[in-house]
């Protein structure tokens, strides 16, 4: 009888240890790291920037680093760079329009049993615009990439993630991004002030790789 008691106690301890290990296995991930590239599609008056200098579809790339608040909710930091070509490129040569965008983001994953996981994403941050502008210069009037004052911006988007391993996968997302009062922002060059004069609205399409980092074992 005593032997049966010790055998039962041993089995209980083993099962408890296994259960604890299973629970550890399902502990939420700590971080996500996303690398991506894609297309930046100008919208609104950005397509007609400064008359003949309208932005055309360009490319972008960026990085997300996010912390899991829950199994499904992530709060993080994002930085992206977008470069647009110019419609009137015969006059501007190899100059471009460029955006540098640091943001905070919040993302919600609709996690289920499938490896295919849709999500929603919202962001807020700054837009640092370096746009090709026709400026006065000691050597004569010419086109030049000049930096405008940063403006507040916000974005909203949706996408899906697909697991290709336990801790990584691929994702595709689309985001709408708009700056607040961008048309009023200014740049100073050679003591002259230039007004941006356009809305700063774009649609970003991103495709990339997502890596999950779990807790220490």
The domain segmentation of the chain, as residue ranges, is: 29-213
DSSP 89-153: HHHHTT--EEEEEEEEEEEEE---SSSEEEEEEEEEEEEEEEEEEEE--TT-SEEEEEEPPPEEE
Would you state the pLDDT for residue 88? Answer: 75
The per-residue pLDDT of the chain, averaged, comes to: 85
Between 54 and 3, the more confident residue is 54
Q: How far apart are CA 159 and CA 94, in angstroms?
A: 33
Between 128 and 215, the more confident residue is 128
**pLDDT-above-70 percentage for the chain:** 85
- Answer yes or no: is pLDDT of 14 > 90: no
- pTM listed for this prediction: 0.81
Would you state the pLDDT for residue 217? Answer: 43
Fold assignment, 29-213: Porin (2.40.160)
Between 216 and 122, the more confident residue is 122
- Answer yes or no: is pLDDT of 127 > 80: yes
- Answer yes or no: is pLDDT of 18 > 70: no
CB burial of residue 18 (10 Å; 0-12, 13-18, 19+): exposed
CB 132 within 8 A of CB 99: no
CB burial of residue 92 (10 Å; 0-12, 13-18, 19+): buried
- Answer yes or no: is pLDDT of 15 > 50: no
Would you state the pLDDT for residue 94? Answer: 87
- Answer yes or no: is pLDDT of 200 > 90: yes
- Residues 41-77 have pLDDT tens digits of 998 888 888 777 889 999 999 999 999 999 999 999 9
């Amino acid at each position: 009888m005593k032997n049966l008691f010790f055998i039962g106690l041993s089995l209980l301890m083993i099962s408890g240890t296994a259960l604890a290990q299973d629970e550890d296995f399902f502990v939420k991930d700590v971080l996500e790291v996303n690398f991506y590239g894609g297309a930046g599609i100008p919208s609104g008056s950005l397509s007609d920037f400064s008359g003949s200098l309208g932005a055309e579809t360009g490319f972008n790339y960026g990085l997300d680093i996010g912390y899991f608040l829950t199994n499904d909710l992530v709060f993080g930091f994002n930085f992206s760079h977008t470069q647009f070509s110019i419609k009137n490129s015969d006059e501007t040569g190899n100059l471009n329009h460029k955006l540098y965008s640091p943001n905070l983001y919040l993302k919600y994953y609709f996690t289920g049993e499938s490896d295919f996981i849709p999500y929603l994403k919202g962001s807020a941050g700054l837009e640092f615009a370096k746009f090709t502008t026709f400026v006065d210069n000691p050597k004569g009037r010419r086109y030049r990439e000049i930096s405008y004052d940063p403006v507040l911006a916000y974005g909203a988007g949706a996408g899906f993630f697909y697991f290709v391993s336990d801790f990584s996968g691929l994702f595709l997302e689309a985001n709408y991004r708009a700056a607040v009062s961008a048309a009023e922002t200014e740049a100073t060059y050679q003591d002259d002030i230039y007004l941006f004069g356009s809305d700063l609205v774009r649609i970003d399409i991103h495709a990339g790789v997502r890596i999950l980092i779990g807790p220490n074992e």
